[in-house]
Amino acid sequence: MMSMMGAGMFWMMLFWIVVIGLVIYAILLLITKVFSKKQEDPAMEILRERFARGEIDQEEFEEKKAALLKK
């Protein structure tokens, strides 16, 4: 009878260790994903917006993009 109770407690403790481990892993994954997003160059963002609004054509966009990436 005692060994059955001990085995049950072992599995319950193991279950909670796994659950807590998964929660910690999910939190760390979320934190690293948020902070690892590389910040895009503001000039490139403006260039994309101008292209999207139709202020510049494809050729001018590609030229300016190449110039910005060369920096």
For residues 64 and 47, the answer to whether their CB atoms sit within 8 Å is yes
What confidence score (pLDDT) does residue 7 get? Answer: 82
What confidence score (pLDDT) does residue 1 get? Answer: 45
Q: What is the pLDDT along the chain (71 residues), one digit of tens a residue?
A: 456 677 888 899 999 999 999 999 999 999 888 777 666 788 999 999 999 999 999 999 999 999 988 86
26 and 13 in a common domain: yes
Separation CA 68–CA 45 (nearest Å): 11
42 and 24 in a common domain: no
Angle between helix 58-70 and 42-53 (nearest 10)? 180
46 and 20 in a common domain: no
42 and 58 in a common domain: yes
2 and 29 in a common domain: yes
Q: Is the pTM for the entire model greater than 0.75?
A: no
Q: Which domain holds residue 59?
A: 38-71
CA atoms within 13 A of residue 23's CA, in its CB half-sphere: 6
47 and 70 in a common domain: yes
